[in-house]
Amino acid sequence: MIGRLLLLYSIIFYTFSASTPPETTFSLTHAYYHDRRTNSISRYQRHAHASTRQDAFVVKTATHSFSRRVPNVTDRATVISLAKMAYDAYTAIGGDDWYDLDNPSWPINDTFGWQEDGFRGHVFSNDDASILVIAIKGTTAGLFSGGPTGDKDKMNVSWHGRNMTRDLPSCFILGKGLQDNLLFSCCCGRISRVWTPVCECYRGNDYICEEQCLQNTIQKEDLYYDHALAIYRDISDRYETATVFLTGHSLGGALATLVGLTYDAPAVSFESPGDRLAAKRLHLPHGPSALTPIYHFGHTADPIFVGLCTGVSSACWYGGFAIETRCHTGKACVWDTVNSHNWKVNIASHRIGDIIEKILNVPEEFPLPQCRVERDCMDCGLWDFPDNRDTSLVMDLSRHCS
């Protein structure tokens, strides 16, 4: 049971309202899915997965105005606090790499996933558990140097403690072409002929990937996303009146925002790969991006955040990762470190510690960026994703109408 947990006191929360002082509150009309209780969202996703039409997973949500608490992403102390939580998700409580939060009077309590080598993180809370923050671990060990969860991070699949070498097909074993996850690659890690993808959806010699095959593969796998949903549901059920936020770095940040989209929960990610394609493939309901409380912090020297970690010369290639997406849901909050500070695009810049120490802790050089919707952004532009479900529907309608 989650007891008293930890929350850095400097995190600022505000309620959207037009009648409160501007220095502490903001006004915003928020978009949300009308009934996102656990049962209803599960029914929605089952219906979307079972639909015979490709456009079943592009359903937009209804809008409604209401007051709610969200992280104040215009406050630097708030962003630093969330970044430290995302950092701490990589290590056990009190470990050598643990970032001490600034207020020692707040107690440390519970965590999840540290008994196994897969999905991990921590839960932070204020003293009365009215505000909870779920911090989800990202990809281990700078992408490709191993670590206790590195292999599973590449596949983005939880294998329930099974022996990796014994149970995974040979194409998944490190050193034999272990590929990236299903959610952030155009076609299951199909990068070239020397890579073995994690699904058999690639068609022919061109950039063709069968959409229904992708959907079926995602439905069959036991993704970290499913475990993140379970954690969110458990916490929400235990603390029905609490406000729950999510945060994370890299893969952890993308998982945080995907869960946030699923349950209309505020989420703040750091240096996450583009999650828009993953949200589409997971059939997530969504409203207008400008009204969604999802925020992605990153900078232009990070090849994963900006979608440049591709090709034979990239670190992702050598690490066995196929991270090809760059378009984010909600809003992106981007520091232009390349043009404004002459940083070079380098995988070393993807570390969450660099965001904290080299950007957030240097306010005179790096003021907080404005968060904006990524318009005219496209993932996998070279690929075609034919779907015979649409063809079958047209044929059925033709027979009935003839």
CATH assignment at residue 351: 3.40.50
Q: Is 42 a residue of the active site?
A: no
| Cα-to-chain-centroid distance, residue 205 | 31
What gap in Å lies between CA 285 and CA 228, rounded to an integer?
Answer: 17
Provide the pLDDT for residue 295.
Answer: 97
Residue 243 bridge partners (DSSP): 131
Q: Which residue range forms the structural domain that includes residue 131?
A: 13-142+224-307+322-372
Provide the pLDDT for residue 250.
Answer: 92
The mean of the pLDDT values for the chain is 73
Domain assignment present for residue 171? The answer is no
Provide the pLDDT for residue 297.
Answer: 98
Domain assignment present for residue 18? The answer is yes
Cα dist from 220 to 41, 166, 226, whole Å: 19, 20, 11
* Torsion angle of C-alpha atoms 187, 192, 198, 199, degrees rounded to 10: 60
Q: What is the pLDDT of residues 226-235, one digit of tens each?
A: 889 999 999 9
Domain assignment present for residue 173? The answer is no
Domain assignment present for residue 156? The answer is no
Provide the pLDDT for residue 298.
Answer: 98
Q: What is the pLDDT of residues 126-135, one digit of tens each?
A: 777 888 899 9
| Cα-to-chain-centroid distance, residue 188 | 17
Provide the pLDDT for residue 199.
Answer: 84
| Cα-to-chain-centroid distance, residue 19 | 34
Q: What is the pLDDT of residues 138-197, one digit of tens each?
A: 865 444 444 444 444 444 443 333 332 233 222 222 222 233 457 888 888 777 776 777
DSSP 306: T
Across the range 228-257, mean pLDDT stands at: 92
On whether the CB atoms of residues 198 and 179 are closer than 8 A, the answer is yes
Ranking 168-182, 271-285, 368-382 by mean pLDDT, the lowest is 168-182
DSSP SS3 for 112: strand
Provide the pLDDT for residue 244.
Answer: 92
Tell me the residue type at 300: T
Across the range 81-95, mean pLDDT stands at: 87
Options 125, 185, 250, 269, the catalytic residue:
250
Domain assignment present for residue 380? The answer is no
The yes-or-no verdict on residue 317 having pLDDT over 70 is yes
Ranking 22-31, 211-220, 280-289, 389-398 by mean pLDDT, the lowest is 22-31
Ranking 2-16, 116-130, 237-251 by mean pLDDT, the lowest is 2-16
Domain assignment present for residue 353? The answer is yes
DSSP SS3 for 152: helix
The yes-or-no verdict on residue 344 having pLDDT over 90 is yes
Residue 294 bridge partners (DSSP): 267
The yes-or-no verdict on residue 370 having pLDDT over 70 is yes
Provide the pLDDT for residue 51.
Answer: 53
Ranking 70-84, 138-152, 332-346, 375-389 by mean pLDDT, the lowest is 138-152
| Number of domains forming the structure of the chain | 1
> What percentage of the chain carries pLDDT values higher than 70?
64
The yes-or-no verdict on residue 253 having pLDDT over 70 is yes
Provide the pLDDT for residue 387.
Answer: 87
DSSP SS3 for 59: coil
Domain assignment present for residue 22? The answer is yes
Task: Give the per-residue SS3 of 246-298.
Answer: EEEECHHHHHHHHHHHHHCCCEEEECCCCCHHHHHHCCCCECCHHHCCEEEEE
Across the range 267-296, mean pLDDT stands at: 88
How are beta strands 111-112 and 243-249 bridged, if at all?
unpaired
Across the range 257-261, mean pLDDT stands at: 95
Q: Using 50, 70 and 90 to split pLDDT, how confident is the model at 28?
A: very low
Q: How many CB atoms lie within 10 A of CB 20?
A: 14
Provide the pLDDT for residue 390.
Answer: 61
| Cα-to-chain-centroid distance, residue 130 | 24
How are beta strands 131-136 and 243-249 bridged, if at all?
parallel
Give pTM, 2 decimals.
0.77
Provide the pLDDT for residue 47.
Answer: 55
Ranking 89-93, 145-149, 176-180, 286-290 by mean pLDDT, the lowest is 176-180
> What percentage of the chain carries pLDDT values higher than 90?
32
Q: Using 50, 70 and 90 to split pLDDT, how confident is the model at 319?
A: confident
Ranking 18-22, 127-131, 184-188, 308-312 by mean pLDDT, the lowest is 18-22
Provide the pLDDT for residue 309.
Answer: 85
- Determine the straight-line distance between the first and last CA of the chain, rounded to whole angstroms: 61
* Torsion angle of C-alpha atoms 37, 38, 41, 46, degrees rounded to 10: -150
Across the range 331-352, mean pLDDT stands at: 95
Domain assignment present for residue 314? The answer is no
Question: Residue 198, by phi and psi: left (phi above 0), alpha (psi -120 to 50) or beta?
Answer: alpha
Provide the pLDDT for residue 39.
Answer: 55
